[in-house]
A and B are shown apart, each in its own frame.
Chain A
Amino acid sequence: DAKTTQPNSMESNEEEPVHLPCNHSTISGTDYIHWYRQLPSQGPEYVIHGLTSNVNNRMASLAIAEDRKSSTLILHRATLRDAAVYYCILRAGAGSYQLTFGKGTKLSVIP
């Protein structure tokens, strides 16, 4: 899988929007952008994925740059429960389906 770069940590105030960036300058045309998160002492949890267009679901939104070399996970209103490590993962359109986790971004939410 192609490499991603994320900030080590970010902070947000409760009830405010959070924008978590991810750089993936070597992304290929068939790579999907996936986001997972891991709450403290839990297993990873799927958040959202996309290929080219922006995506919304009940948990978050994913904004993908036009050149696809970066993306941003948007939590519209952070809650204390959103405090977690967020992983941006590229998954090839064919071949290996394992998830390759990096170090992710540790999001702290301040009450």
Chain B
Amino acid sequence: EPEVTQTPSHQVTQMGQEVILRCVPISNHLYFYWYRQILGQKVEFLVSFYNNEISEKSEIFDDQFSVERPDGSNFTLKIRSTKLEDSAMYFCASSERDRVTYEQYFGPGTRLTVT
């Protein structure tokens, strides 16, 4: 069964450093998402992306964050200058369509630890 993959599984970085989290969505999917989950808290939506554009973003997704689809397979989340509060699990998801009847497939996540 096709699956979403994410690398690395765990990233440790120092405060103020830039990080790039990578995702490979399911190959025929057109819609891509990033979510995050701070330890012990809810899963929170960050951004959705379609046709090389952001289609929706949350208040969390400020100027420190950016997303990109640099080639036909990867989807990345960049945090320009990490803060301690960025420590969380980051989940990438993809869906075939953006219709409400289509499910989102999630990757296993990248654990980001900012020290």
Q: With A and B bound together, what is the CA distance between A92 and B43 in angstroms?
A: 18
The stretch that binds A, out of B11-19, B74-82, B97-105, is B97-105
Is B87 among interface residues, defined by CB-CB distance under 8 A? no
Q: Which of A1-48 contact B (CB under 8 A)?
A: 32, 34, 38, 42-46
Asked if residues A101 and B44 are in contact (CB atoms below 8 Å), the reply is yes
Chain A residues closer than 8 Å to B95, beta-carbon distance: 97
CB contact between A96 and one of B44, B56, B91, B106 (< 8 Å): that residue: B56
Asked if residues A99 and B56 are in contact (CB atoms below 8 Å), the reply is no
Question: How far in angstroms is the closest Cβ of chain A from B57?
Answer: 9
CB contact between A46 and one of B45, B99, B104, B108 (< 8 Å): that residue: B104
Q: Which of B16-55 contact A (CB under 8 A)?
A: 31, 33, 35, 42-45, 48
Asked if residues A44 and B100 are in contact (CB atoms below 8 Å), the reply is no
Asked if residues A38 and B43 are in contact (CB atoms below 8 Å), the reply is yes
Chain A residues closer than 8 Å to B35, beta-carbon distance: 44, 99
Give the bracket for the number of chain A residues in contact with chain B: 20 to 34
Q: Interface residues of B, CB < 8 Å — how many?
A: 25
Closest to B90 in A: A43
Q: A43-B93, A97-B31 are in contact. List 7 more A-B contacts (CB 8 A).
A: A34-B103, A43-B109, A46-B105, A87-B43, A92-B100, A97-B56, A97-B99
Chain B residues closer than 8 Å to A87, beta-carbon distance: 43
Of all A-B residue pairs in the complex, the 4 with the closest CB atoms, nearest first, are A43-B106, A46-B103, A98-B45, A101-B43
